[in-house]
Each structure stands twice: as C-alpha cells, then as structure tokens.
Amino acid sequence: MKLRLNKTVAAVASSALLLMAVPVVGIASASGAATKAKPTYTIGYEGPLSGGNQQLGLNMVFAVQLAVNQANANRKLPFKLKLATYDDQGDPTISPTQAQAAVANKHLVAIVGPAFSGATAAAEPFYHAAHIATVSPSATRVSLATSGWNNFFRVVADDGVQGPADADYLVKSKGLKSVYVVDDGTSYGSGLAQAVALQAKSDGATVVSATVPGTSQCQNGTASATEYSAAATQAVASKATALFYGGYYCDLGLFLGALSSAGYTGSVMSGDGALSPALIQGTTPASAANGVLLTCACASSSNAKFNSAYKLLSHFSAANATYAPESYDAANAIINAIKSLKKVTRPGIVAALHKLTYVGMTKKIKFQSDGNIAGSAIFVNQVKSGSIVQLGLE
C-alpha cells in the first residue's frame, strides 16, 4: 500500500519536474506563434511529501491534483493548469529552499500551502517578495496572519478561533447557560479550556472550571483513572447543563464512563484532540459516548462526488484524509481567482484572492484583509450511535 502511494506521488512529482524542465506553453510564450493554444499556468503545492508527516502531504496533494484535473477537463476555461510540488517535509529549515525554487519557476502563479505553520513562517518572506499568493489548507498559527504578508491566505480557522467558537455554540446556539469546563492539564487541553471558559463567561454563562489531569492509563499523564468518579460527582453537583472537556480522546473516554455512572445528563463537548473513532472504542460503557459534540477546524468530506473522484486518484479513502477537503478548496480558490483575471500575473492573483467570494466544498471562501477566512470555520461533529457524524459549521 505504502509502495503504491509512493509510486503515485513519484508520478505526480516527476510530471511536475518534467513541466519545469520543458516550458511547453508558458505565460511569456502564450502570445507567441501558437495563438490558438491555451496558456498554461502552474499552481504549486508546498508541504511534506516525504518524512514522518508524508501522509498529511499526500492527503493534500491529491486533492490539489484533483482540482487541477477537473479544471483542465473543463473546456470552457481559457487556460490550462499544471501542478508543481515542493517537498518541505514540514520542516522550517527546508521550507525556504523549496520556496525559492518555487519563486524561480517563472510559470508558477500561486501556491497551495505551505502545510505547516513553522514551514509557512520560514517560507513566506520569499513568497511575499515575489508577490506569490499562498493559500494554506492547514497552517493554523495565529501570528501568520499578522506578520504583514498580504499574499498569505488560509482556508482553515486559526488556533485562536476554536475555543471562543465552541463556547458560543454551547451558550448562544444551544442556550446552555451553565458550563462546567474541565481540562486535562496538558498545554493543549488547558489552553483550549481556558479559551472556552473565558468566552462562555463573556456570553453570560455560569462557568465552573476544574483540572482533572490525564491518567497513566492514557499516556497523557500520571494520574489514576479512579479520580474520575470524584470529578464526575462534582460536575453533576454543579448542576451544569453543559460540560466542555479540553483534552484527548482516551481520557475523555474514561471520563465519559464516570459521568454516566454519576448520572450526568447534560451535553458534553470537546475539541479536535478528542475527535477520533478511538474515543468510541475506548469508552465504557460504549453508549456513554453517544451525543458527545466534537469540534474541529478540519472538515470531513461527505461530498460523495469528491470522495469517489479522490479515491480514484489517490487509491485511499477521502474519509480519513485530513485536510484533503481544505486543500481542494484552496486550489479552487486560486483557480477562481485566475478565472477572474484578464491578465494573469502573480500580484494580480493576490489582489483577486482578496476580492474573492467562492462557495467551496467545506465553507464559503471569503478572506479577511489579513488572509484569515471570514465567518465561523469550526465544524461541529457528534457521536451518533457509535460513529462520528459532521453536523456542520458552528
């Protein structure tokens, strides 16, 4: 399976290399002798295509390739597209070299990526200097949007958005005015829980916070699972109608069991750290996981057309391909920006993206002036009879 994937990527990558080596029809030659030939623009992808995070890069690059293929199949489009890949391994030290290679490719008009926040921060000065628009499907570091790079865009919510959006969903959308906020003591869990508690308070809810550290049973801590019965008793005694858990799926599973034993009947919500089928597998009794809300900046694709086309291309299921839907949207945002231009230039695409409104597969793509996506971009999922179902945007 792995070998097969590698071969496919090699094919994608080598065709991209071929394109770089032989400029068949470029921007410059478009007005040349072959007047009938459509101009060909290159869209780049920068992300991890080798190394430990390879799978994440593969998830993305196939989605971009799919968007490019579909655009090329549309005869009405006045241009052709090519994909060029730049493998940064998700590494900020490799990323600048790849960015410079992308900048040097004179056919390249825009980038989907970079995938990782660190790599993006390292690469962006080069893209910015060359006026190349970069649309990241996955870089979530908050500061990326505030560094003065007008060419930076992302179709995913940043790290600062999830907590407040979760609180708003519980308090404003669901009308739950008493929230018990629990965190597992990790930097991820307590950070998210604090953000939720803060926003829930400002939304007018009564908030009680508690830290219930991760257990040695789950490798995120050293505490004992026996603490959960006491913690659950307190949650019930607080008479809270909603409980937010900042932490990971394994400990949440143990906590859910204790909550059900203690007779808790309110809503339970957690973030992306708990968004895993392993949550359901690890909850005793299994029914205690039903109804739990799980939020994530990531979308899961329920679009059957996309899923089957994606599988045909990648030979793996889109259902588990994290950030594939976002990558598809990022590529299509760029393609739509190109469509809107009479004369396609790198700075022209940057300007067009700032003005773009496009209904993507995951959400409406409209960028704020800093490159962040406008509106809520946090998805809420719910466990329903043993499986995780995406309900929609918060």
What DSSP string describes 324-359?
HHHHHHHHHHHHHHHHT-SS--HHHHHHHHHH-EEE
230 is an interface residue for another protein by CB under 8 A: yes
85 is an interface residue for another protein by CB under 8 A: no
Choose which of 198, 286, 388, 393 interacts with another protein (CB under 8 A).
Answer: 286
Interior angle at CA 51, CA 47 and CA 56, nearest 5: 45
Question: What part of residues 50-79 is at the interface with another protein (CB under 8 A)?
Answer: none
Least distance (Å) from another protein to the CB of residue 196? Answer: 18
Choice between 281 and 368, CB closer to another protein: 281
Residues contacting 175, CB < 8 A, separation 6+: none
Choose which of 216, 368, 385, 387 interacts with another protein (CB under 8 A).
Answer: 216
The 167-186 site mask, x for binding another protein (CB under 8 A), equals ------------------x-
217 is an interface residue for another protein by CB under 8 A: yes
Q: Using the 8-state DSSP alphabet, how is residue 214 labeled?
A: P
218 is an interface residue for another protein by CB under 8 A: yes
Residues contacting 236, CB < 8 A, separation 6+: 259, 262, 263, 264
SS3 content of the chain, % helix, strand, coil (to 5): 45, 20, 35
Whole-angstrom CA distances from 174 to 44, 194, 201, 269 are 42, 20, 15, 12
Whole-angstrom CA distances from 22 to 15, 18, 105, 177, 276 are 11, 6, 11, 63, 45
Question: What part of residues 243-262 is at the interface with another protein (CB under 8 A)?
Answer: 250, 253-254, 257-258, 260-262
282 is an interface residue for another protein by CB under 8 A: yes
Q: Among 88-96, 211-219, 300-308, 372-380, which window interacts with another protein (CB under 8 A)? A: 211-219
Least distance (Å) from another protein to the CB of residue 231? Answer: 4
Nearest by Cα to 360 from 322, 389, 334, 321: 334
Interior angle at CA 24, CA 6 and CA 45, nearest 5: 40
226 is an interface residue for another protein by CB under 8 A: yes
Least distance (Å) from another protein to the CB of residue 291? Answer: 16
Least distance (Å) from another protein to the CB of residue 294? Answer: 17
213 is an interface residue for another protein by CB under 8 A: yes
Least distance (Å) from another protein to the CB of residue 240? Answer: 14
Choose which of 222, 302, 317, 387 interacts with another protein (CB under 8 A).
Answer: 222
Q: Is 366 helix (H, G, I), strand (E, B) or coil?
A: strand
Nearest by Cα to 95 from 66, 124, 69: 124
Measured CA to CA, the distance from residue 98 to residue 145 in angstroms comes to 21
Choice between 198 and 262, CB closer to another protein: 262
Q: Among 45-53, 83-91, 278-286, 296-304, which window interacts with another protein (CB under 8 A)? A: 278-286
- Total residues contacting another protein by CB under 8 A comes to 41
Choose which of 227, 307, 340, 341 interacts with another protein (CB under 8 A).
Answer: 227
Q: Among 73-81, 97-105, 230-238, 304-312, which window interacts with another protein (CB under 8 A)? A: 230-238
Choose which of 54, 98, 283, 300 interacts with another protein (CB under 8 A).
Answer: 283
Measured CA to CA, the distance from residue 302 to residue 37 in angstroms comes to 37
Nearest by Cα to 246 from 277, 220, 266, 284: 220
Instruction: Tell me the residue length of the chain.
Output: 394
278 is an interface residue for another protein by CB under 8 A: yes
Beta bridge partners of 246: 183
228 is an interface residue for another protein by CB under 8 A: yes
Least distance (Å) from another protein to the CB of residue 373? Answer: 34
Choose which of 53, 194, 211, 303 interacts with another protein (CB under 8 A).
Answer: 211
Per the structure block, which two tokens stand in for 171?
């308090």
Choose which of 19, 63, 139, 236 interacts with another protein (CB under 8 A).
Answer: 236
Beta bridge partners of 206: 178
Binding site for another protein (CB under 8 A): 185, 210-213, 215-219, 222-231, 233-234, 236-237, 250, 253-254, 257-258, 260-263, 278, 280-286
